Chain A
Amino acid sequence: MSQTKVKKMMFILSKATIENVYAAFVMANGARMEGIEAEIFFTFFGLEAIQKKKLKKLKVATVGNPAMHIPTMIGGLPGMEAFATTMMKKEMEKLDMPPVDEFLEILSASGVKMWGCKLAVDMFHLKEEDLIDDLDGILTIGDFYSKADQDGTQILFI
């Protein structure tokens, strides 16, 4: 088992932009690689990352993101989001970063527990069959906290 003081990392993913989704995935995978347990709780827009029909179409945000160095007016033009996303995916492929669907398979095989947020699932009227088969279940926030109730657990909101 892990020799680290951190025993378990729990991520709450609330956004569906590519950079946020990858942040959660890379850190969850990285935790497992260090022998640390990892769980991801998908809530609100984060649920897009585990919806079969949407997970391959996640985009990078080109508006309201000063680090993109694209003027907001231009970032909002049709096609800009798709263009920036294609560019970013190309760079990620160069670094051997898997696409979202393959990444989810890797996480599940690595023992990362993945949970849907009950409130958000109900709010978006999602059914079990809309979500990936590797999902470990739907939880309330209370259930989530009970899973976090042990020494050496860290919760991170993304």
Chain B
Amino acid sequence: MTDRHWEVINWIQEQVKAEKALSVRGIKKSGVVDIKEFYALFPGGPLKISTKIAGVPKPKSCI
């Protein structure tokens, strides 16, 4: 886990606190990380893995 990982994890936790739905489109618009880097940081199912690390529920969205 590097600082970049933590920046993304913190952003995810903020989103969940603000009750905003998480999706890959949301990652694109986040301004914290782009999709390519997101996949590179958390390979093998990035949103699934990052939400697990962040300790928040896995997103229910299909996008």
Contact = CB atoms under 8 A, between A and B. Distances in A.
Interface residues of B, number: 19
B45 A33 contact: yes
A2 B49 CA distance: 11
Nearest to B47: A33
A156 interface: no
Given A2-B44, A29-B24, A32-B39, A109 B34 contact: yes
Nearest to B23: A96
A110 interface: yes
Contact of A1 (B25, B34, B43, B61): B43
A110 B48 contact: no
B21 interface: yes
A32 B63 CA distance: 11
A106 B62 contact: no
B47 to A, nearest CB: 6
Interface of B: 21, 23-26, 28, 34-36, 39, 43-48, 61-63
